[in-house]
Amino acid sequence: MPVYLVERNFDQDPKLTPEGNDQINAITDELGAHWLASFLSADGKKTYCLYEARSPELLKEHSRIVGIPADEIVQVNRFWPTAADDDWPGPPDDK
């Protein structure tokens, strides 16, 4: 399944709770996507989230349903240290 990076811009730190994350994850699962990881910028105003999903449109729908922005969605290929290659989801970048 393809892997996407979703950039989200916020006016302030989104301060998601564990319960809020669980609710978002349940919706993610229902839509057939899989959340892999998220990163919060140092100023707390952007998140960068990695997902496995069938399409960017599915991730746009996900964001609409959960009420969080999806300002940029980019399909990415793995480019990781060799030792981590076996653990990275999605197709290898050479295919």
Q: What is the pLDDT of residue 50?
A: 95
Which residues of the chain fall below pLDDT 50?
A: 94-95
Q: What is the pLDDT of residue 34?
A: 93
Residue 87, CA atoms < 13 Å, CB-side half-sphere: 6
Q: What is the pLDDT of residue 72?
A: 97
Q: What is the pLDDT of residue 11?
A: 85
Q: What is the pLDDT of residue 20?
A: 84
What's the predicted TM-score (pTM) here?
0.78
Please work out, in degrees rounded to the nearest 5, the angle formed at the alpha carbon of residue 90 by the alpha carbons of 88 and 95.
Answer: 110
